[in-house]
Structure 1
Amino acid sequence: MKKSLFPFLALFLLLVLRRHAAGEEFPYREIQQAVEGKNYSLALKLSEQLPEKERFYLSGVLKEKLDRYQEAIKSFQKYLELEEPKLLADDALFHIVSDYYYLRNFAQAIFWYEKAEPFFKKGPLKPRVLRELAKSYEKMNQFQKAIETYQRLEKDEEGLFHLANLYKKLGNKEEAIKVFWNLVEDFSRNPLSLEAIRYLESLQKCFSPEEEYSLAYVFYRNRLYREAEKRFSLLLRRREISSSLFAKVHYFRGKSFFYLSDYEKALEEYDQIYPESSELHYEKGRALQKLKRYQEAISEYEIAADGESLWQATRCYAKLKNYSGAAKTLEKLFYSSPKEEVRAKASYFLGKYSEELGYDEKAKTAYNRITQLPYTFYSYRACQEGKINYPNFTKNIQDIDPPLPMNDDKIYLSQLNKKNPELQKALLLLKLGISEEAISELKKMEKKVYNQEERWILFYLYQEARAYPEAIALGTVIKEKKLRYPLYYQALIEQYSKKYNLDPYLVFSILWQESRFGKGDVSSASAIGLMQIIPPTGEWIAKRMNQRDYRTEKLFEPEVNIAFGCYYFRQLLNTFDSNTVLSLCAYNAGPERTASWLKEENDLDEFVENIPFSETYHYVKKVISAYQEYQSLYK
C-alpha cells in the first residue's frame, strides 16, 4: 500500500463513524451531544431508541453517571444475557463488579469479581480489579483469600500498603514489617512510604544503620529536607556505620542542607567524603556558586567536566566578567553536547560574550549556528535582539487533510477491523458517546501498532474522542508537525485573543504546554483544564470579570477556561510591561515570585537562566519553542 494512502484510510474510517452517528434511523449524534454536555437524563431517554445490544450497555453507563447503581447493574446484566457475540462483555462485567463494590455489597462484588477476573489477567485494569477483589474479601472476613489476592499484585504500592495493614490487623507483625519495608525500599518517593515509616516505627523497636539510612532517604526523596537532615545527623552518631554508608549519609545530608539554602553546611558535609566523584565535584560547585565564590566553583565544575558542569562554569565566568573564559567553555560545550537545545544555548551566549569582547565576526558565526538548529528559546531571543532573521525550518509542509480514499481501501479497513478487537470496541463506544472507555481501548490498540496506516487511524479516532493530548503525542510519532502543533479550539482562542489583544499563536502555545488541549486535566497543584487555572486564581478572575454565577466546576468548560486564561495573561502582560518571557514566568510561578526574582537580576537572559524553579525554567522555554513552531506553521 502506498504511503500517500495512510491518511486517506484514517479519514475514511472517521467518515464511516460519523455517517453511523448521523444516521436517520438512530439518534447517535444527539446522544453524543447530550453526553458531552453532561445531560445524562436526555441521553438515557434517547438511548431507548437504540438496538438492544447498544441500549442495555449505554443505559448502564448513563445510570452510573446518574448515581443509579442498582439500575445500572440490571442494565449490564441484561446486556450479558443477550446472544453472542457481545463485543463489550468484559467491560460490562467490570461495571457490574465496580457498582456492587461501590454499593458495599461485597458478597455480590466477590461473585462477579471472580467471574470477571479471567478477562483482566493482563492490561491496565488488572491492578484495580485485584485491589477491589482483595478489599471485598477483607470486608467479608475472608482474610486468607484477601492476602493471596494482594500478593498477586506485582509492584503495586497501594496493594502492598493494604497487604501490610491487613497483616498488622491480623497480628502478624513479622509479615507486616516485611511488606512495609518493601514499600520503603521500592517506592521511596511515594507518599505511602512515609505512612509505612510511621507503622514501622510503631512495630519495630530498633533499626540497623542501613535501615535508618533507608528511612531518612524516604524523607529526602519526598522533599522533606529538614526531617531528612535530622535523621541523617542522628545516623552519623552511630559507631557501627560502614565507610560506604558514611559517604552516602554525608552526601545526602549535604544535599538536604543545599535545598534548605544552608550552603556552608552543605560544603562541610561534602568535605567529609573521599574519594571524590564527578558528581560530588558538581554538587560542590553548586554550593560554591550559591555562595558567590565563583572562582572556586569554576575549579569544581571543570573537574566534573560534564555538560551541565560546563554550563554552570560559564555562568560563573560571566559573573566574574571573564568573558574570554566563558567563551572558551561555551565552545567546548557546543562541540561536546549531543543535545540541540544545549548547543543553541551555547551558541547564543557565545555570540553575546564575543560581542562583549569586541569579536563581531565570531559573534556573527555563533548566532548563525542557531539557524541550523531546531526552534528553541535561544532562536527566539536571537531574533528579538536582531542577531538573526526569523528562521524558517519547516519548508514544504504537507497538507495533512487527505481527500476521500479509493474504493479498494474498504477491503483493507474491513481486514484491519477484524484483527483489532480494540478498534471494533472503540468504534462502537465512540458511536455511543462513551469517550472515556473508547480512549482506553485506543490506548490498548496503540501498544500493538507498528505501521503508519494504523497510526493515522488512531490519530483521527483520538481526535474524534476529544483525546487531544493522545492525538498530539501520536502526531509526534507520525512526524507531521501540524499534527504535533494543532489548532484545536481555534474559534475560541481567536475570539478571546482578539478580545484581550493577544497573539493567538502564543495562546495556542500556552495551551499546548499547559494541557496539550486536554479540558479535563487536573494537575497535582489542582490546576484545572486547558490553561491549567488553579481555583483561587479562577475566583479572582471571576470577580474581576464580574461573573456572579461562577463556580469552580465551570473551569472544566473550554470556553470559560480559555476566556479566563486569556484574561489573566493579559493582566500579566500589563504588569510586566508587555514582556512575553516575564509574563510566561509569572503565569507558571506567580507574579509576586517573578517580581521578587526580577529585583535580583534585570538582564532578561540572566534572569531566565537564574530562575530558581526548574519547572518554571523549562516551562518558559517550552512555550517559547512551541510559539515559534506555531508561527512558522500557520502565520
Structure 2
Amino acid sequence: MRRFLLTLAVLLFATSAQAGTLDDARRLLKKKDFGGAAQVAKDLDPQQYPGKSSAINFIAGYSLARSGKNEEAKLWLEKAGADSLIGDSALYQLMLILDAQSDYGAMLKTTGGFLDRFPYSPVRQDVILLRAKAFAKTGMMIKAIGMLNDLLARNGDYDKAHWLLAQTQASAGKLDDAIQTYLTIYYEHPQSPFAERARAELNEINKSRKKRLPVETNDQRLKRFGVMVANKMQKEAVEYSAEIKPLQIKPAERAEFYLNLAKAEERLGKADKAIEFYDKSAAVRNGVTKPEALYRTAKIYWNRDDLKNTVETCNRISKEFPKNDYAAQSRYILARIEEGAGHKAEAVALYDKILSLFPSSKVTDDSLWHSGWTSYLSGDYAGAEKSFRRLADKNHNYGGMAPMALYWLVNSLKAQGKEADAFQKTLVTKNPISYYTMLTGDPDTMLKPNLPAAAENGLADSVRAKMETLAELYAKPPALDEKNRWLFESAKAWLAVGFEDTARSLLENLSAGQNGMLWLAWQFHKANCLSCSSRLLDQIRLEDVPSDQSPFVMFMMFPVANWETLVKESNAAGIDPFLALSIIRQESRYDAEAVSSANAYGLMQLILPTAELTAQKLGMRGITTENLKTPEINIKLGVNYLAGLIKGEKGAVPLALGVYNAGPRFMEKIKKRFSTDNMEIFVEQVPYQETKDYIKKVLRNYFIYRKTYSSFGAPTPGAN
C-alpha cells in the first residue's frame, strides 16, 4: 500500500509538472520565483507554443542565471540569442554571466556578434561598455580607452563608462588621465554611484605618492554642491556644504550658494533653517538672488499662515524690486490673502494690477483665473467675462487652463444673457474629453448622478466583439523604416509572451504616427495590458481622430477591465461599477500590481489599514499587501469602502471622491469653509490642487464611461 501511494504521488507530481504553461512560467518569473519559473519553462514543449520557443528559452535561461545555475543558463540563453527579435536581451544576459566568470575571450566574441546583429537594441550602449571591458581585461588597453571615449562623447552622463575609463587609464599607466577622469566623476557627477569610489581612488593615489594631486579648490567644491542640488540630492548637499568656505566665494556665487542651500533645507522640511539661509542670501551685497530669497521666505510664512510676516515680506519685495517678476508673484500672494479673507473687491483690484504691470509674468494665468473667478462669485459677470476671455485666448483654446476658462466664460456670458454657443463649441471640439466638456452637457447629471440599477455581465463580451470588428477597419500596421520596424517587431514578440514592460520600453523609442499608435494600442489591448494601451493613446490628439474611429479609440482609452468582478461586487454594494472603474483608471490605470509611494496597493490603490478595516466589516481575514494585488480582493474591498463613503456623504459623489483621495478630516475642513449647495462651484473651491484634479478626473472618467457604453445598454449618468 505504501509503495502504491508513493507511486501515485510521483505520478501526481509528474502530472502537475506537465500542467505548467508559458503563462505560469511568466507569472513565476514576475513573482521572482526563479527556481519555479526555470523548472516550468524547461519542461514546456516548444511545439505547443508556435513562434514562442525563443521566449521559453529566454525565461529558462534568465531564471536559471538568477538561481545561480550559470552553466545551464548559458545553454538556454545561447539558444534564445539566435532569435532576431528577442535575442539581444538573451545575449546581454549571457554577457553578464561571462563577465561574472571573467571569460573575456568569449565576451569579445559574443559582444562582436551582438553589435553586428542588433544596431537598434536599447542595451547596445551597455554591450559596447562590456566589449571595452573585455578589451581592457585581455590587454588591449588603447582599444578599450578609445571605445570608452567614443561612448562618453555620445553620452557624457554614462556613469559606468566614466568609471571603467578611469580604471583602464590607471591600469595602462596613464595616471594623469586617470586622475582627471576620477576628478570628473567626483566633482561633476556626484550623483554617480562611483563618486565616492573615485574619491577613494584619488586618496589612494595621493597616499602612495605615485602622483601629486592638484589641491582641491573651493570652486570645485562649489561646483559639486551645485550638481548635487540640481540632482535633488538634498541631504547630501546639506552635509557637503560644510566643506565649502562661503567667505572665499565671490559675492554673486556666495548668494547663489546660500540660496541653493536654503532650497535644500526647505525640501528636507527644515523651514527655519531655510529662512536662515534665505536671509543670508538676501543679505549679500550686490547679490542677484535677493528677490527670489525674499519671495521664498514669504511663501514659507504664507504656508504657515503667518500672514503678518507674509505681508511685510511681500511688500518689501514690491518696494525694493518693483519691476522684478518676484514683485508680481508677491502681489499675487497678497491678492490670494485678500481673496481668502473674503475681500473680493480688493483681491480683484490686486489681480488686475498684476495683469496691468506684468502682462507676461509666471503668475499671469493664475491672476487671470482668480480675477475672473472672484468676479464671477461676486456677481460681476462682465468682469469675469473679461478675465476668462483673456485666459482662453492666451492658452490658444487648447490645453492648459483653456477648458476651465472657456467653460466659465460660457457661464459668464449666459449669466448676462449673451450668446455663448461659439465658445462652447470651441471647448467641446478642442478638448473633447475634458472635465469641462463633460459638464457642458448637464452639470447636475454629472455632479449628482443617480447611480443606475444593477449592471449586467454581458457587456465585456459585447464590447470585445465590437472592437474586433473595428480593429479590422482601423488597426492597420504602420509603414516603418528599418529601425522602427525592428523596435516594433521586437515589442510585438515580447508582448506576445506577456512581457509588457519590455515591450513598452521598446515602444518608447518608436515613431509610428497617429495611425500607428492605434495599431500598437490594439496590440497591447489584445494582450490585456490595458495600462499600456490607454497610456499610449494619451499621446494622440483626440480632436484629430475621425468620428468613425472615435468609438474604437475610446474603448481602448476607457476599457471595461475586470468587468465581471466589478459587476458582482458593485451590485452587492449598491453602487455603479462604472464609478468604481473610473476610480481604477485614475488610481492605477488598470494595473493590478501597482504600488504607490504612499504604499497604496492594487487596482483601487488601498492602503493596508483601510483595507483591513473594510475587510473586518465584511468578515474577511488575512488581508496582506500581497493579496491586495489580487483583483477580486482589491475590488471587493475598494467597492465596499467607496460605497461607505458615498453613504456617509449622503449620496454626494464628489464629496466621497474627495474623501477617497485626501481623507475625511481634509474634506470636513473644506466643507466647513465652503458651501456644498452648488457642487459645481464647490469643486472649483477645493484648495488642495491634487484633490481638486482627482475629483474632476474621476467624474470625467465616469461620465465618459457611461456615455461610451450607453449603446450597449448602459444608461448615461443620472438615468434611473
TM > 0.5 fold call:
yes
Change (3 A) 1:508 1:403: closer
2:278 and 2:610 map into 1 onto residues whose CA distance is 40
1:267-308 superposed Cα distances (whole Å, 9 cap, x missing partner) = 522422535566456435424534423433544377544786
Provide the residue aligned with 1:261 in structure 2.
271
Aligned counterparts of 1:407 and 1:231: Cα–Cα separation in 2: 61
Matches within 5 A, 1:430-445: 430-444=495-509
* 1:275–1:426 Cα change, 3 Å: closer
2:534 corresponding residue in structure 1: 472
Partner of 1:214: 223
- Residue aligning to 1:395: none
How far apart are the structure 2 equivalents of 1:257 and 1:223?
11
Question: Which of 344, 369, 376 is 2:409 aligned to?
Answer: 369
Q: Secondary structure at the match of 1:238?
A: helix
The answer to whether residue 56 in structure 2 is matched with residue 58 in structure 1 is: yes
- Give the match for residue 74 of structure 1: 75
Q: Partners of 2:141 and 2:26 in 1: how far apart?
A: 42
- Aligned: 1:488 with 2:488: no
Structure 2 partner of 1:318? 339
Alignment partners' CA distance in 2, 1:466 and 1:50: 21
Match of 1:129 in 2: 127
Q: Which residue of 1 aligns with 2:156?
A: 155
2:673 aligned residue:
603
Does the CA contact (< 8 Å) of 1:185 and 1:214 recur in 2?
Answer: yes
Verify the 8 A CA contact 2:136 2:168 in the aligned structure 1.
no
Alpha-carbon distance between aligned partners in 2 of 1:165 and 1:467, rounded to the nearest angstrom: 43
Q: Which residue in 1 is equivalent to 2:456?
A: none
Q: Distance in 1 between matches of 2:649 and 2:138?
A: 61
Q: 1:192 to 1:384 in 2, by over 3 A?
A: farther
Distance 1:408 1:359 in 2: 52
- Alignment partner of 1:630 is 2:701: yes
RMSD: 5.6
Q: Give the 3-state SS of the residue equivalent to 1:192 in structure 2.
A: coil
Q: Contact 1:131 / 1:150 at 8 angstroms: preserved in 2?
A: yes
> Matches of 2:203 and 2:655 in 1, distance apart?
49
Deviations 1:394-452 (A, max 9, x none): xxxxx995674899999x859779993444444444444554554455444xx2313x3
8 A Cα contact 2:530 2:559, kept in partner: no
Give the Å deviation of 1:248. Answer: 0.9
1:296 and 2:358 matched: no
Measured after TM superposition, the shift of residue 242 of structure 1 is 1.5
In structure 1, the residue matched to 2:11 is none
Alignment pair present for 1:420 and 2:485: yes
- Within 5 A, what are the aligned runs for 1:28-107? 33-35=23-25, 37-38=27-28, 40=37, 45-50=43-48, 54-55=52-53, 57-65=55-63, 67=67, 70-78=71-79, 88-101=86-99
Query: 1:271 and 1:408, CA in 2 relative to 1: closer, same or farther beyond 3 A?
Result: closer
Aligned residues: 580
Structure-2 change in CA distance of 1:360 and 1:32 (3 Å): same
Worse-matched range after superposition: 322-331 or 214-223: 214-223
In the alignment, structure 1 residue 558 sits paired with structure 2 residue 569: no
Structure 1 CA distance, aligned partners of 2:233 and 2:471? 62
Report the Cα distance in structure 1 between the residues aligned to 2:230 and 2:474, rounded to whole angstroms. 54
Gaps of 5+ in 2: 1-19, 29-35, 205-212, 389-406, 412-423, 450-462, 543-552, 675-680, 707-720
Give how far 1:327 is off.
1.8
**Mapping of residues 139-178 of structure 1, within 5 Å:** 151=149, 152=151, 154-160=155-161, 162-163=163-164, 166=167, 178=180
Residue 244, structure 1, aligned to residue 256, structure 2: no
Confirm whether residue 454 of structure 1 aligns to residue 519 of structure 2: no
The equivalent residue for 1:518 is: 591
Question: Shift in Å at residue 238 of structure 1?
Answer: 3.1
Higher RCO by CA contacts (8 Å cutoff, separation 6 or greater): 1
Contact 1:527–1:535 under 8 Å retained in 2: yes
- Residues in 1 aligned to 2:85 and 2:599: alpha-carbon distance in whole angstroms: 37
Contact 1:157 1:192 in 2 (8 A): no
Which of these residues, 259, 283, 294, is aligned with residue 296 of structure 2? 283
| Matched position secondary structure for 2:47 | coil
**How far does residue 518 in structure 1 lie from its aligned partner after superposition?**
3.0
Residues 539, 552 of structure 1: 8 Å contact kept:
no
Q: Distance in 2 between matches of 1:597 and 1:414?
A: 48
Q: For the residues of structure 1 that align with 2:359 and 2:560, how far apart are their CA atoms?
A: 34
Output one character per residue of 1:15-70: Cα deviation in whole Å (capped at 9) or x when no partner. Answer: xxxxxxxxxxxxxxx95654565485556545332488643552342453464654
**Could you say if the C-alpha distance between residues 559 and 407 of structure 1 is closer, same or farther in structure 2, counting changes exceeding 3 Å?**
closer
| 1:489-504 pair list within 5 angstroms | 489-499=562-572, 504=577
Alpha-carbon spacing, 1:269–1:449, altered in 2? closer, same or farther (3 Å): same
Distance (Å, rounded) in 2 between the aligned partners of 1:150 and 1:524:
37
Q: Distance in 2 between the 1:513 and 1:160 partners? A: 40
Name the counterpart of 1:620: 691
- CA deviation string 1:578-614 (max 9, x = no partner): 887787677667x5xx848977995369999897xxx
Q: What amino acid maps onto 1:631 in structure 2?
A: Y
Q: Which amino acid aligns with 1:327?
A: V
Any stretches of 5+ residues in structure 1 without a counterpart?
A: 1-29, 392-398, 612-616
| CA distance in structure 1 between the partners assigned to 2:695 and 2:382 by the alignment | 27
TM-superposed deviation, 1:196? 6.5
Could you tell me how far 1:159 is from its partner in structure 2? 1.0
Q: Which moved more, 1:528-537 or 1:248-257?
A: 528-537
Deviations 1:338-390 (A, max 9, x none): 99x996995477445654x5647756997832765668789999999989989
String of CA shifts for 1:55-112, please: whole Å, max 9, x gaps: 355234245346465444324434667xxx9555445433433454577766644542
* C-alpha contact 1:351 1:364 (8 A) present in aligned 2: no
Q: Measure the CA separation in 1 of the matches of 2:598 and 2:162.
A: 24
Cα distance in 2, alignment partners of residues 271 and 417 from structure 1: 56
Q: Give the Cα–Cα distance (whole angstroms) in 2 for the partners of residues 576 and 169 of structure 1.
A: 69
Distance, in Å, in 2 between the alignment partners of 1:113 and 1:424 is: 22
Residues 358 and 94 (structure 1 numbering): CA distance in 2 closer, same or farther, change over 3 Å?
closer
Cα offset, 1:460, TM superposition: 0.6
Partners of 1:475 and 1:484 within 8 A in 2:
yes
Task: State the identity %.
Answer: 19
CA contact (8 A) 1:209 1:238 kept: no
Of structures 1 and 2, the larger Rg is shown by 2
Aligned residue identity for 1:93? L
CA distance in 1, matches of 2:538, 2:671: 37
In the alignment, is the contact (CA less than 8 A) between 1:297 and 1:316 conserved in 2? Answer: no
Shift of 1:514: 3.6
- Deviation at 1:252? 1.9
Change (3 A) 1:535 1:388: closer
Q: Map 1:13-32 to 2 at 5 A.
A: none
User: Whole-Å Cα distance in 2 between the matches of residues 313 and 380 of structure 1?
Assistant: 34
Structure 2 match to 1:4: none
Q: Does 1:115 align with 2:113?
A: yes
Contact 2:262 2:276 in 1 (8 A): yes
Change (3 A) 1:408 1:472: closer
